[in-house]
Structure formats: C-alpha cells, structure tokens
Structure 1
C-alpha cells in the first residue's frame, strides 16, 4: 500500500504466479518457483508503505483482475484508493476462511510520531488507514498528520469513514456508533425489570432502548418466577416504538415445576460432561 493510498500487488506477479504456500515454511521473494530473479525496490515517494498479506485456504477471488494482466504488466495494481480495499476483500471472500497480517516502514523520511487512543460507546473493530488495528479501546502509534478511521461491529453499527488529525504526544477520541441501515428505536419497560429479547436474541434488560431496523420486530420479556410476555411492534425510520409490560407472578406449583425442569436439565448436562471426561480418559 503506497503512501498515496494506491494498492499494488507484489505477489503473485508475472514472474511468480504460483501463490500456493505451505504452512510452517518460510518464503522470500522471489520464490524458488519464480521464472525470473526479480528484485523489489522502495519507491521515491515519501511516506509510509504498508505490506499486507492476505491468506486463505482457497484461491483469492479479488486477485482475478490482477492475474489477468500478467501478460502485459509484471506488477499490476489492485486499486487506486486503499479505503476501498476492506470492502473488496470482504465482499469477494464471504464464504472463505481467511486472515491477514501486515507490517510497514517509512520511506525516505523519519516521521514525528503521536499516540492515538480510540474509544467507542460499543465494542467494535477499529480500522486505521484501511487496516484493522483491533477492538476498541485501541492505542496506535501513528505519524503526525491526517489518517483515515473507520469502526464497525457485528451488529452493523459503524462510525465513519472519517479523517482525523494526529498530533505529537498523546490524543484520545471517543466515537459513537450508528447503524448503517434505515433505523428507528425500540424502548422497552417492564414491571418488574426483566430480560429483553428482540426477534429471539437477548439484547439486555429493562429499562431498554436501542437502535432497531425499520420494520416489524417481536419483543419478548422474561423473568424467573414470572410468566413471559411478548408483542410485535413496527419500527419507523427516526421514530421510537415503545413496549410496556406488566408480568404476572407464577403460582407456587408453576415455580416448583420450572425448578424441577431446570434441575433435570442441569443434571443431564453434568452427566454428559462426566461421560465425555471418562471417554477422554479411556482414549
């Protein structure tokens, strides 16, 4: 990844087209399979150059546009803007197991560095200059200047993309994630307070308020020793849909029945664990 954001592909290339690698083995470029003893040189551009490695147990579909150019270009570039890289890789490899690694160096200058701490109101993966840097809170050492930042989590909540300026010293910023889809809000109250399930997934306890996709949702509340209750609501964009519940206490017989069922489930689980331990010892 060049200082100007262009993404060049170093490997595979015209001379080294076989990019199948064996685990546990160290490789260097050019590989022993290369048809030409080529060399790689640092460009004259001033800035940070990132070397990104993407690995998968299947061929990498996003490289098709690159390999098709090997007849005329030795080292084709993948794209002009690194900000598109995340989407290109993820969208082309949705059904594959893959991972990545990276390193970087500064070409033709010694930068002034700053520490930048990134916090968010929810757990999210933090991307800086197109590369994931972990789950917030994240502290990264960056050269002073402008950097591209993006946060996302598995609930389709995001912040950015945005440009932030990093200064020398230590900087902390807090971000609020918002949905990347049309949304409103669901607010749930209950007497007594109870666990909240939306569309079958536990999302918290009452009092509860959070984002929700536009459309219909089933809300259920439950609490030990009380009868569960549910209702279906329709969320409109930008609006808050409220759901209020008053739970009815169970009878002593119903509570006793629930307790016996719970004991039976726990007993069965412990028995299964015991059998697995014994089988493991026998093996």
Structure 2
C-alpha cells in the first residue's frame, strides 16, 4: 500500500500460498462468531477481481455479532498496510449485522491501486474483545511493524493466544492487479501433522492414514479430524484453492479425567452455579474434570446454598440441598419534622413519629398526618431482614384570612405585626390552626381575639371607641 491522501493500495503474488484462512492464521475451534471481508469488484468473493493501476478500490467488512475488527492488506512484495484501525478510522467496533466500507462516504482519504502487479489479499480478524496490537501496528503513522504473511501470522498468533477459543475468527478477500494469473493446478495439497504423532487422520469422515501425512485433495471445503487414544479429537475446516498447499498442525490435548456431579434441591428449580458460572437448574447432572469446585444454589425467596465439593475421576458425587426460606419481615424506622405525626401503613395506624416497627416485607403505602401540615403519602418497599430508614419533612398548610373592620387598624398575628387594615380591610395568609389576633387603632380599644383557621375564613370585627 502506498501513501496518497493518507494511503494507497499496492498488490502482488509473492505470498499467494501463505495468506489464506488455513495458511496464515485460523481458529481450529468452531465458533458462531463470523466475519466476512470483500472488495467492491467481488462481492461474491470468487477471488478473481481485477484492478488496474490507478483505479480506486473499496473494502467492505461485516460481522454477525458485536466484535472488534482489524483489517490488513498484504501486498505481493510482502509489505503489509493497515486498513482498520488507521489514523482517520480508529473506531473498529462493529455491531452485530453491521457492514462498513473503507474508505467510508466523505472520508478524507482514498485507496488507489499502485502495484506491483499480482495477487493481494485483505485479512480480517474479528474478536469479541479488543486485541493488543501495539507490537504490530502503529496507528498514528499507519504502519505495520512486521513484514510478510508469515511474520503477520506469527505476531497475530501471539496476540490471540490468551483469548477463549471461540472468541475470534478470520476471513480473507483476494484480488488481482494488472492481469489474472495462469489457471492454477486442478488439485490442492494437504499436509497434516500432530504432536504427538501417529494420530488417525480423517478427511470428510474417511480414514486416510496417520500423521505425518500428505494428501492430494480437490479444491473446496473439507473437514479434517485427528484422533489418538487418550487425547481429545482435533477438528478443523479447510478450504484450499487449486494448487494451494495447506498446513494443518495439531497440538493434541490429553483427555481430562472426569467425574459426575449430580445436584438436587428441595424445592427443585434452583439455579446451579459451579465456580461462579451458571450451569442449569436442579435437578442437574454435570460431567466435570476431576477436582474441587465451589457449588452454589440460588432460588428466589430462599437463602443461597453454598458448598465445596470434590469430584473424583470416574465417580458420581451427589448433592441434595434443602433450601431455607428467607425471613419475610423487615424493619421500618420513621421520623418527621415536626415530630408527633400520625403514621398509617396500608391504612393501618402504626403510631406517631418517631417510631420503629417490624413489618411484612414487600411494598406498602405510607401516610403521615399532622395538624397544620399537608398529608405525606408515598410507596415504600421493605426488604426481608433489612431496615428501611425514612425522614419526612412535612409541609405546613396555609389558609387565607380576610378582615373587615370599622376603622383603619394595625393587625398583629401571634404577636407579630402582619399589616394595616387600610379602609378597614386586610387580606393575609396564615398556617392552619389556632392563632391570637390583635387589632390596634388610635382612639379605640385594643381588640384581642383567638382565631382557629381550618380553611379560608372571613372575619367582620368592630373596635369600640375609647
């Protein structure tokens, strides 16, 4: 790839036998994560797209699940160029079903074919979690620090090694520059080896021999399986092209020594967790490698059941748990300002604030009542064996008092002057409840009267002359 408005694509054939899903890097474990990469002239991925030098090219990629996607172009001369991420496209997280084009519409860069002639390939790597490519890729400069398909394969193999087997997958798109190559041979070669050697090799279900083994196969998809007594079967799918040589090397894994864990509960239907992982509901029987395990049973409304169990090889360990119901009461602690408010729970009088009461667990309707204050109403939830603490600030309720007097007078409420009844009239607001009303006018006797406000009220009062 050569730089032009950030970078331009270069092409070649020198590494044609090394950049396939089988030859460069392949996940031998079947996975439901899929990635598909193609170029604009070959949406059907026939591998015969032809570009001339100076032509633009667009690369497309799609995933069937949420994944982080990395794209590399491997040139014929062994040079490797990054496509994603790059200095202008750092977001390499694709949602399930999403298809992206590079460069996208309105991008500040473009890809243009510059040569040399031959076959190039675009490698796509999709992973459920981000990969640490700092040793391979310099995003700021748009450079890959390794050269050639083999170098890239070795570097990527190290990066994906810590990942769970089913968390990554690859795909390759092929295209040509200048002219199409001569028709390849009609067959492909399959080299199969294993460690330890001597494993039976099955091709599409038929025994072919033992490792190490070289087979001539028809191009296309084939299922390869290796079997050796005392080891887990090794399976991989290959899809060689005509004339391609595909290497399959299997590091066989010894079969684990296993036992059976049988779990039952009263009542049944409890979730079964083994070492923190949900494995099903009771009753449940599990085949496990021999060893010690943390067992936990969970069922709503019951206390968790926990135990440590040892599963010997070739034996069955039975666990029968009688689950204990959770307590169904909790504590309600309630206070208010002002204190002394009446407390009602689901319409039942509990007492006055402050109070502490044991109540049934669940949701309840809470009401607080106090003279001169607005009613407080709320939904509360009390959890089993837990304490719910609430503090309520009650809101005073006010009323309107209208005064009609025979003279202009100063008006005092509870000892505090609240206004002057000019022309013998005054309108004021006061909290509900009992108040002392005092009227003072020059030349008239002072009038003191108790007023109880339970709502808006009108008072007509007459002051007597001295």
Relative contact order higher in (CA < 8 Å, ≥ 6 apart): 1
Structure having the larger proportion of residues in helix: 1
- Same fold, TM-score > 0.5, yes or no: no
Highest CA radius of gyration, 1 or 2?
2
The TM-score normalised by the length of structure 2 is 0.30
